[in-house]
A = this chain, B = another copy of it.
Amino acid sequence: MSGRRYAIGVDFGTESGRALLVDISDGAEIAAAVHAYAHGVIDEVLPGTSMRLEPDWALQHPDDYLEVFRRAIPAVLKASGVDPADVIGLGIDFTACTMLPTAADGTPLCMLPEWRDHPHAWVKLWKHHAAQPEANRLNQIAAEQGYTFLNRYGGKISSEWFFPKAWQILNEAPEVYAAADRLIEAADWVVWQLTGIESRNECTAGYKAMWSKHEGFPPDAFFRALDPRLEQIVDTKMSRTLLPLGARAGGLSQQAAGWTGLLPGTAVAVANVDAHVTLPVTGSIAPGTMVMIMGTSTCDVLIGERQATLPEVPGMCGVVEGGIVPGMPGYEAGQSAVGDIFAWFIENGVPAEYHQAARELNVSLHALLEAEAARLKPGESGLLALDWWNGNRSTLVDVELGGLLVGMTLATTAPEIYRALIEATAFGKREIIETLNTAGVPIRRLVAAGGLPERNRLLMQIYADVTNHEISIVRSGQAPAVGAAMHGAVAAGVAAGGYPDIAAAASHMGGLRPETYRPIPANVAVYNRLYAEYKTLYDYFGRGENDVMKRLRSLRHEQLAASS
């Protein structure tokens, strides 16, 4: 053992998992390793079968997660040369709600020969959107019967969340539902695999499973109203024991020590969510800072003021006491596609000449388009988009909405469209900020984290101009993994050389870059005009005045169903 102490954070993303070994004294990132999931996002054919999945399905393979432990943790230990005895804690963060049915011993049903050919036995990824009918019904019944828990979620539960997904299993595969001894967030499942002990965290329960510290889960009567077979779901397939963030879920099992090369008994923190775990990486847990974790999608997290009655914000993902740091109200909002929209455009909308030019200049197509788009002034493209390629998470909570682009002429170019798509996501962000401000949750400061802010300076400047906020960037380029490591250091505790709480870990291990993006007043003025146009279209297409997007979606499903 040396004098230094380390923690490892493992960040489970949509396509890969990343292990990061961090010096807990200052957050220095000593070694990182990424392991891409062999099966990635399963949205076409069920592995090992020729079974085609329906549209809106998105599954994953649970063994891909364990491979991250088996590959990436040994890799960081090897690369760093750190003595495993100096690694005092391990934390993970995960996408959510990503959930799976398992046997009582934690074996995923999809790993059992009798269930592996059944799509509902697999992990449902956060962006599995096929449980919309269940979400709609749940929202309707909760509203009709006057349940107030919906208010904590902006008035609507998303189809991405735990109970719609669980209910979809019951509706479409009651035999799988019956065979599932446990229904569990993948976040909690990987911690179970590390410790041998099933634990559940307050964050995913609060944001994705309608739990609150004061009220617990919705009452059994509510679940009975959904479907009598759901009445006992919490007691039979879940757990009412939930651990706060930063708590020790257990020590590393002998088996997991074998996978990872860490010592058995190493402290493992309860699971956390990729977005929420990132907030303390800013170096502070002060209220009023919105942290935007910008990647394929964007999550916005912020800590609110402690107050007797929490403001309820329409169309937010949720407010959860202790959902981000224990004892404080944590707000979450989000945009269901951001980087994904740009990636879609790069893949589906950019003509050959730009591919050619990017090759000649030896830059990525993204970089080329960014450079071209940066030459345009705000408003110069004549275009405006609604950023709903994957529905709208906040503030409309509606996966059935679709994208929109308006203003094209015969002179419209790919870089103009690219810029309009970036601007649309910025307008979406502004809508979230204004909704929070109006509801009494003031946003004082914006901090960006995630992959996009590092890659795309134009995007950050547009966000600053559209929101009229200076934007800082989290120091770490792998912030969720740092956040997960922080929680590992807190789970280890002071006695082991760790930290007493998240605030202490944040102040030592987090921080911002010196460089910020400042709003340019001339751009702010133009974007105020464009935002007014965006808002009109937002309300027209998003709030029921013209439900054409939903009707197009439903006609599409009708026609696809008729083909199959």
A contact set with B: CB distance below 8 Å: 55, 337, 340-341, 344, 347-352, 355, 377-384, 389-390, 402-414, 526, 529-530, 533, 536-537, 540-541, 546, 548-549, 551-553, 555-556, 558-560, 562-563
A551 to B532, CA, bound (A): 11
Contact B402–A556 (Cβ < 8 Å): no
Known: A407-B549, A408-B403. A413 touches B381 (CB 8 A): no
Leading 8 A-B pairs by shortest Cβ distance: A403-B408, A382-B556, A379-B555, A402-B407, A380-B559, A407-B552, A352-B355, A404-B406
Copies of this protein, total: 2
A353 to B537, CA, bound (A): 33
Known: A409-B402, A549-B406. A351 touches B347 (CB 8 A): yes
Cβ distance A5 to chain B, nearest Cβ, rounded Å? 43
Cβ distance A276 to chain B, nearest Cβ, rounded Å? 24
Interface CB pairs A-B, < 8 A, 18: A55-B411, A351-B355, A352-B352, A352-B355, A382-B552, A402-B408, A403-B406, A403-B407, A403-B409, A403-B412, A404-B404, A407-B548, A407-B552, A407-B556, A526-B555, A533-B548, A533-B551, A537-B546
Contact B377–A553 (Cβ < 8 Å): no
* Chain B neighbourhood of A55, CB < 8 A: 411
Contact B379–A414 (Cβ < 8 Å): no
Contact A380–B553 (Cβ < 8 Å): no
A408 to B541, CA, bound (A): 13
Partner of A409, one of B390, B406, B411, B563: B390
A407 to B557, CA, bound (A): 13
Interface contacts beyond A341-B410, A379-B552, A533-B552: sample of 17 additional A-B pairs, CB < 8 Å, sorted by A? A340-B410, A349-B351, A352-B355, A377-B559, A384-B548, A389-B410, A390-B409, A403-B406, A406-B541, A406-B548, A407-B553, A526-B555, A530-B555, A536-B548, A537-B546, A540-B540, A540-B546
Known: A405-B405, A548-B537, A555-B526. A380 touches B410 (CB 8 A): no
* Chain B neighbourhood of A349, CB < 8 A: 349, 351, 414
> Which of A337, A348, A413: most chain B CB closer than 10 A?
A348
* Chain B neighbourhood of A405, CB < 8 A: 404-406, 408
Contact A413–B379 (Cβ < 8 Å): no
Contact B409–A379 (Cβ < 8 Å): no
Partner of A350, one of B351, B548, B549, B552: B351
A389 to B408, CA, bound (A): 6
The chain B residue with its CB closest to the CB of A412 is: B348
The chain B residue with its CB closest to the CB of A355 is: B352
The chain B residue with its CB closest to the CB of A55 is: B411
The chain B residue with its CB closest to the CB of A379 is: B555
Partner of A382, one of B351, B402, B540: B402
The chain B residue with its CB closest to the CB of A411 is: B55
A282 to B378, CA, bound (A): 50
* Chain B neighbourhood of A381, CB < 8 A: 556
Cβ distance A102 to chain B, nearest Cβ, rounded Å? 29
